Chain A
């Protein structure tokens, strides 16, 4: 089993739709969680750190479920510019290692 698993997609959604991605992790000692956005042929860019209590930044909401070992990303009112690959990342506290999922592709259609 992979340490971090994501549905590769693609998720094709119309503009204005709400879309949600889940990411599961296998190591219960994982402590820090992140969502990154990666555009084609570009570097990953930090979208959100995922706090234990969940957090929201504009149209984006991230949630953490430690009991079920998954994190989620919700995008409301999707824009064409949201089209990208979304990477789930986990880090075990006290370690240097970050485990990246292979990403979920989102295509927002006009």
Chain B
């Protein structure tokens, strides 16, 4: 069965510091991978999408970037965090098939101070 991992689970970072969040998927090959952010009391905002190694689509221009160095690894980064980057960061993968269901990792809760 497929499993999706994210780490760290929680993170507190000062404004201006760098960021690296990692997501890995097990049990499937060539998954479509997503990064979302959920701000407090808000809906999920799509940040990045990837169909394969080195292929990244950005939905929201901002100080975040994503990379996919391996088939089942997806990394979210920032060189300098802003207060507005605080939120719940979720990685997801989707099945291929008629319904293309998405499954989420446990998330990383980021607080920027």
Contact = CB atoms under 8 A, between A and B. Distances in A.
A and B are interacting partners: yes
Interface of A: 32, 34, 41-46, 49, 87, 89, 91, 96-98, 100-103
Given A44-B104, A96-B57, A100-B43, 9 more contacts: A32-B100, A34-B101, A46-B101, A46-B103, A87-B43, A96-B34, A97-B59, A98-B34, A98-B46
A32 B96 CA distance: 13
A98 B32 contact: no
A100 B42 CA distance: 10
Secondary structure dominating the interface of A: strand
25 contacts: A34-B99, A34-B101, A34-B102, A41-B109, A42-B107, A43-B104, A43-B106, A43-B107, A46-B101, A87-B43, A87-B44, A89-B102, A91-B100, A96-B32, A96-B34, A96-B51, A96-B57, A97-B46, A97-B49, A97-B59, A98-B34, A98-B46, A100-B44, A101-B43, A102-B42
Nearest to A43: B104
Contacts of B21: none
Contact of B104 (A45, A96, A103): A45
B101 A103 contact: no
B90 interface: yes
A73 B46 CA distance: 24
A100 B88 CA distance: 15
A108 to B, nearest CB: 21
Interface string B31-59: 01010000000111010010100000101
Given A96-B32, A97-B46, A101-B43, A49 B101 contact: yes
Contacts of B34: 96, 98
A7 to B, nearest CB: 14
A44 B49 contact: no
A48 to B, nearest CB: 10
